[in-house]
Amino acid sequence: MADTKESFEILEDASGNGVACTDSTAGATATGKRGPTVFGFKDPSGNLDLPKTNASGAVTTDGSGVTQPVSAASLPLPTGAATSANQTTSLTRIGDLTETAPVSDTASSGLNGRLQRIAQRLTSLISLFPSSIGQKIKSDSLSVTIASDQGNIPVAVDPITVIGFDTYRAALIANAAAAGSKNPIFLIRNPIASGKVFYIRSIKVGISFVNISSDFSLFSNPTITTNGTTVNSFEANIGYGQPTAKALCSSLPTISANGNLLAVTSIGQNTAGSELIFEFGIAIQPGNSILMTADPSSNNRLVSFAVTWKEQ
């Protein structure tokens, strides 16, 4: 048989002890002032089994009739309370004050270790920069290089500054022997070990006779049998003290094949001169050459060439 629930009153007897009784027995078993109503159970034998707390959660009386306080130790702990084990787990996840930074950016770590890793990476990044940003000498500047698979980059040279350091000129007058033939007149070679690129600013051509016409052509990489007679080159900025030109210039070379045709111009009768190429239209890399030819309208005519270039 299950316990039966009844309501009771807490009263004081003649000795001041708290007792509980039902309404039907209160006057027969207890005297004194009335107390609070509590809820309890009677077991199958009719014995009173009082609870530890009343409906309001106040201090109650146990089955012996003695007033009992509620014990804090008997109360259940809430989930996740700050026990020693829970604190250890939290410390591991957050990271101790002296936690070592992870060995990589993605390795497992507590928060303190992760923040140390971020600080280390920022310090490494800052160390790559010079002490300040702006124009500096090379040793104080941030290094920037071209990608290893970068293709050829076009180079534009300012014509206004062409007459400066490493700018040269060479000129000649030579006999174009055979009419109706591209007579090889002027050869310019860039040695393979020069370490320079030749940027041709202009090639001017002319003929010394009136009533004579001529075609002038420019070829790249002719097949050379002999280089011909050396032609001296000179600095365009006279007295500037620039180094000797790397270009090897010669007249009347022996050629077995003219090479690739790059440009052509013509001079009609009573026309003194023309320009074959201008404004850095040609660049000669190391190990390459250009050939200039003349084709006069009659045999044995004197023709002239004047070339300006920059070596960088």
* Residue range 243-254, pLDDT digits in tens: 899 999 999 999
Share of the chain above pLDDT 90, in %: 37
Domain boundaries, the chain: 4-69, 159-311
Helix (H, G, I), strand (E, B) or coil at 146: coil
pLDDT of residue 208: 80
The C-alpha atoms of residue 6 and residue 189 are separated, in whole angstroms, by 122
The amino acid present at 66, given as its one-letter code, is V
pLDDT digits (tens, 9 = 90+) for 127-150: 877 777 777 787 777 777 788 888
- Higher-confidence residue of 20 and 178: namely 178
Please, what is the average pLDDT of the chain? Answer: 77
The C-alpha atoms of residue 40 and residue 20 are separated, in whole angstroms, by 10
Share of the chain above pLDDT 70, in %: 66
- Higher-confidence residue of 107 and 75: namely 107
**Residue 246 Cα to chain centre, angstroms:** 39
Q: Contact, 190 vs 289, CB < 8 A? A: yes
List the alpha helices (DSSP H) in 14-94: 26-29, 84-94
**Residue 232 reports pLDDT greater than 50:** yes
Q: Kindly report the pTM of this predicted structure.
A: 0.50
Q: Contact, 309 vs 198, CB < 8 A? A: yes
- Its sign, for the CA torsion 240, 241, 246, 251, is positive
**Residue 293 reports pLDDT greater than 90:** yes
